[in-house]
Every structure is written in C-alpha cells, then in structure tokens.
C-alpha cells in the first residue's frame, strides 16, 4: 500500500474495503483471472478472449445467480441451503414441458410457473425461519430434501430436451460484443444498486447488522427477512432457467453442487457470514472466482477432486483469515 495515507488511491481502496468489503474479493478476482488466462493456450490470438469470455459466462451464470440470492439472504442475517434444490425443481419442470417452439404461450407460462415455484419455496423458508424464528440452517437444509424429492419424483432419470433454437440463442446471443449472460449479470448488479440506495437496502443492512436494534428502531424485521428468502428462491429459479438453456436437458440433481458454491461464492465475495456487511457485486466476483478456479484446475489437467480441495482451502482461508489476524494482534498486546 502507498505510504501517503491521503493519496487518492488509498482513499479509494479504503472506501472499497470498509464500505463495500470488496477489497479481498477484488484481489482474488484479478489474480484468479490472470492465472486462468495465462494457462489458456493462444490467449493473444484474435477472438480468443471474446470466445473464452462467452463460454465462461454462460457456464457460470447459474452459479452466479444463486450466489446473488444467497448473498442477500446472508446480508439479512440468514442462510439458504435449499437454493440448489430449487434449481433442480425448476430445471426438471422446464425439461419436461418446454419441448417445442410451436407453443410460445405455453413456454412462457411454464417459465412463470418455475419463477412462481421459486418465490413460493422462498416464502416457505422465510415463514419458518423468520416468522416462527426457527434455525435457518436446519429449516432450509430440511426443505432442500423436500424440493429435491419433488424434482426426483417429476423426473426419475435424466431426460427431456429443450428446443435447439432456445439453447443456441442462449449460447450465442450477444449485444455489442457482450454475451447475453454477462448482460444478465450486469442487469442484476444494477437492480441491486437501485434497491441499495432505497429504504430496502438500508433495512437489509440494519436487520443483518443487529436485528434487535433494527426492530426497536421501527424496521419491519420479519418482512425484510422473509423477503430475502423469496429473492433467493427467485434467483434460484432464474438459475434453473439459465442452467436448462445451457445444458438443454433435465437432471433431478442438477442444482446439488450449487448450494455450497453459493455459500463459498458469497464468502469469497467478502460477505460477512454474520450478516450486515458485504455487497452483491462482491457475490458476483466470488462466483467468477469459483469459475476461474474450476478452469485453472481443468487447464492443469488435474483430477476433479483438486477442485473440491482448493475450494475448501480457499473458503477456510477467507473465513479464518480475519479472525486469525485479530487473534495475533491481541496476543501481541
């Protein structure tokens, strides 16, 4: 860090760190991106970067979307372990019903059904955790079995086929050179910025920071908490849509990996597990970092268990880092 404490750069950095807790996630984002590109063959050939970006973002979009939802739940002081299962249900519904381009009306209806299911599942989670005050970890873990059971009931073995036209549109559409999946991400970051500057954002941070204080100040705590689970459910449904468009088929366990990834991504994105600090942009960064780790490991041609190991090590480091530093500081005193 520069010596001059008042330099613009330092101030910008402090602002980033203290106000939005983005510092660490930005470092991780930049370093993982550089490593990932360095391992890419032919980086400097024309079109490589564009091609890699398009393929990366369309693969990462589902995880990034659930991570945004998870981040909002964690910001409000909760945790949603059922978002992956909600993705599975959405994916299965779409794979079973959206089979032809001839009936656009029906297809749109099914998308609405999937979105409605996500919101309803979130409402259920929110009701039990926030209105009845039960443990979020237990409730959402339990409800995840209900949802993944439902997915398995609907589609016992992998199958279903989404029309080629749809999947191709998802893969190849881009606007002024920006792939559609990246545009979706940017749109959600902007929507978050919109709400962050309004009453809702302030309430969310207050509830996550100290819900008792927020309550005595007149913040509708229960509603804010329930709404975070509903948002998480909605984001999981959107992830289901993008996942289905990506793979073109249905799998009843499609969202299983996404739950842990959404928590890991949130933590890597600088979101405090105790709530009240962090930002959605950080969650997006966290999701990208996870994607980069995956790419790095596959470029190195390592076995896939390395991915799990590295993810685990990174999360432990990020979670335990600040605590350890504080402990060492205190001991020195």
Partner 1 sequence: MNEICLKTHQIEKHFGGVIALRDGSIDIRAGEVLALVGSNGSGKSTLTKIVTGVLSQDNGAIIYQDSQVEFTNPMAAQKAGVIAVYQELSLVPSLTVAQNIWLANEPRDKSGFIDDRKMNLLTADLLKLFEGTYQPSLHPEAYLRELPPDERQIVEILKAYSRDPEVLILDEATASLDSKQVNCLYDLIQLLKSKNKGLVFVSHRMDEIFRFADRAVVLRNGQTVGEVVITETSEDEIVNMMIGSDEGLIRDHGRKSKDNHKETILVVENLGNDRLVDVNFSVTKGELVGIGGLRGQGQSTLLHSLFGDDYHTGSIIIEGESLKFDHPKEAMENGIALIPGDRATEGLLLMRSILENFHLPNWKKYASPILKMKKARRDAAQVGDQLNLIMESLDSPVSNLSGGNAQKVVIGKWLLRDPKILLLDDPTKGVDVGTKAEFYRLLRQLQEKGTTILLYSSDEQELLDLCERVLVMQDGTIKADLTGKELTESNLVYFSMGASTNHNNHEVSWHA
The stretches of the chain forming alpha helices (DSSP H) are 8-20, 23-38, 48-75, 83-97, 104-126, 136-154, 164-172, 180-196, 199-209, 211-216, 221-247, 256-268, 280-299, 305-332
CA–CA distance, 297 with 66 (Å, rounded to integer) = 22
Residue 322 touches partner 1, criterion: CB under 8 A: no
Q: How far is the CB of 212 from partner 1 (least distance, A)?
A: 8
CB atoms under 10 Å from CB of 286, counted, come to 33
Q: Which of 85, 209, 73, 226 is closest to 154 using CA atoms? A: 85
Is 208 a binding residue for partner 1 by CB under 8 A? The answer is yes
Only one of the segments 97-105, 218-226, 238-246, 259-267 lies at the binding site for partner 1 (rule: CB under 8 A); that segment is: 218-226
**Does 72 engage in binding with partner 1 (CB under 8 A)?**
no
For partner 1, the closer CB: 250 or 276: 276
Contact flag: residue 243 with partner 1 (CB under 8 A): no
Residue 78 in the binding site for partner 1 (CB under 8 A): no
331 near partner 1 (CB under 8 A): no
Q: Which of 218, 303, 304, 328 binds partner 1 (CB under 8 A)?
A: 218
204 part of the interface to partner 1, by CB under 8 A? no
Residues 268-307 that bind partner 1 (CB under 8 A): 272, 276-277
Among the listed residues 33, 99, 174, 210, the single contact to partner 1 using CB under 8 A:
210
- Is residue 212 at the binding interface for partner 1, with CB under 8 A as the rule? yes
| Interacting residue with partner 1 among 205, 229, 243, 285 (CB under 8 A) | 205
> Does the footprint of partner 1 cover residue 327 (CB under 8 A)?
no
d(CA 140, CA 137): 6
**Total of residues contacting partner 1 (CB under 8 A):** 24
Only segment of 40-48, 102-110, 217-225, 242-250 that touches partner 1 (CB under 8 A): 217-225
With beta carbons less than 8 A apart as the criterion, state whether 200 and 90 touch. Answer: no
Cβ neighbours, 10 Å, residue 44: 7
* Token duo for residue 26: 């930005």
Under the binding rule (CB under 8 A), the answer on residue 141 touching partner 1 is no
Write the binding mask 15 to 44 for partner 1: x where contact by CB under 8 A, - elsewhere: ---x--------------------------
Residue 54: Cβ-neighbour burial (10 angstroms; 0-12, 13-18, 19+):
buried
Cα–Cα distances in Å, from 42 out to 8, 47, 55, 94, 292?
37, 10, 16, 37, 17
**Which residues have C-beta within 8 Å of that of residue 321, sequence separation ≥ 6?**
none
**Min. distance of Cβ 79 from partner 1 in angstroms?**
18
Closer to partner 1 by CB, 18 or 169: give it.
Answer: 18
Residues lying near partner 1 in the complex (CB under 8 A) are found at 18, 197-199, 201-203, 205-206, 208-210, 212-220, 272, 276-277
């Amino acid at each position: 860090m520069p010596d001059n404490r008042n330099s613009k750069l330092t101030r910008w950095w402090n602002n980033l760190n203290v106000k939005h807790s983005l510092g660490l996630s930005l470092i991780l984002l930049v370093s993982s991106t550089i490593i990932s590109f360095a391992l890419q063959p032919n980086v400097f050939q024309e079109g490589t970067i564009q091609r890699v970006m398009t393929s990366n973002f369309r693969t990462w979009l589902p995880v990034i979307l659930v991570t945004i939802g998870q981040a909002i739940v964690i910001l409000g002081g909760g945790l949603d372990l059922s978002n992956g299962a909600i993705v599975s249900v959405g994916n299965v519904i779409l794979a079973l019903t959206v089979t032809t381009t001839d009936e656009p009306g029906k297809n749109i209806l099914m998308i609405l059904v999937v979105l409605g299911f996500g919101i309803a599942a979130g409402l259920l989670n929110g009701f039990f955790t926030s209105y009845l005050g039960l443990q979020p970890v237990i409730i959402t873990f339990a409800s995840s079995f209900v949802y993944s059971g439902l997915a398995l009931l609907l589609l016992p073995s992998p199958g279903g086929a989404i029309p080629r036209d749809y999947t191709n549109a998802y893969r190849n559409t881009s606007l002024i050179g920006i792939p559609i999946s990246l545009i979706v991400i940017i749109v959600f970051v902007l929507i978050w910025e919109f709400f962050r500057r309004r009453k809702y954002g302030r309430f969310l941070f207050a509830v996550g920071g100290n819900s008792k204080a927020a309550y005595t100040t007149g913040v509708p705590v229960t509603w804010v908490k329930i709404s975070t689970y509903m948002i998480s459910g909605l984001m999981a449904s959107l992830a289901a849509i993008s996942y289905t468009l990506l793979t073109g088929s249905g799998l009843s366990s499609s969202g299983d990996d996404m739950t842990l990834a959404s928590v890991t991504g949130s933590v890597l994105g600088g979101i405090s597990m105790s709530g009240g600090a962090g930002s959605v942009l950080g969650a997006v960064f966290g999701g990208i970092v996870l994607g980069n780790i995956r790419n790095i490991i596959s470029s190195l041609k390592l076995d896939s268990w390395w991915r799990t190991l590295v993810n685990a090590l990174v999360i432990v480091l990020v979670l335990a880092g600040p605590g350890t530093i504080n402990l060492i500081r205190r001991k020195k005193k």
